[in-house]
Amino acid sequence: MAYKHSVLMGAGALAALLSLPVLADAKADQARAEEIVSGRCFLCHGMEGESASPVFPRLAGQHAEYLARQLADFKSGKRKSDTMKPQSEELTPAEMKALGAFFANKKATPNTPTDSEILAVGRYIFSKGNSFSGLPSCASCHGAKGLGTPLLPRLAGQHPRYIEDQLKQFNKRERTNDNAVMHTVASKLSELEAHAVAEYIATLD
């Protein structure tokens, strides 16, 4: 019995020792991400991913995998941006992954609702789409609360202006790195619907 106990203790100690390098690597990645954010990202996106302007996306709470992929697309030129291209060029895949994890762990906060009538339109479009124009609901891909997946972005709490800008880019085929379905979706949205759904998305938590 004592032997069995000592074997179990030994296995536990070994597991603890094996986990130490992993923990050390995680801390190093976190420190490196914070260094990069404080050196450049914070100017537009803030240290907490809250964004300094409605034209820049809120990154807090975004999926780590999605953020890392966007950075890789900016670096390769697959996603066009005169601002993000130079910011991402020197980043390694490990740094992109670390930055994704850094912002994913930040708390996302919703915007305060404004025009209730506009929000009602946005809620309808987000939840049900528009059967008359063939527009699918946003919730069918991004989830009922706009939380997304590692492959599809979290929308909840995003700046309305940023959402509208991205929809325009999808509609004009200026943004081509993500799901091509968005080209069709954006083309079916009226200006009112795009504005309303962007306003509604901003209130989701």
For the chain, residues classed under CATH 1.10.760.10 are 2-104, 116-203
State the residue for tokens 């079916």: 188
Name the token pair of 35: 């260094």
Give the DSSP letter of residue 153.
-
In this prediction, residue 179 carries a pLDDT of 84
Contact 37, 71 (CB under 8 A): no
Q: Which CATH class is domain 116-203?
A: mainly alpha
**pLDDT tops 90 at residue 15:** no
The partner residues of 135 in beta bridges, in order of sequence, read 130
Q: What are phi and psi of 135, to 5 degrees?
A: -85, 120
Q: Is the pLDDT of residue 13 over 90?
A: no
Neighbours of 23 (CB within 10 A): 10
pLDDT bucket at 51, cuts 50 / 70 / 90: very high
- Please give the class, per CATH, of domain 2-104: mainly alpha
Q: Check residues 13 and 113 and name the one with the higher pLDDT.
A: 113
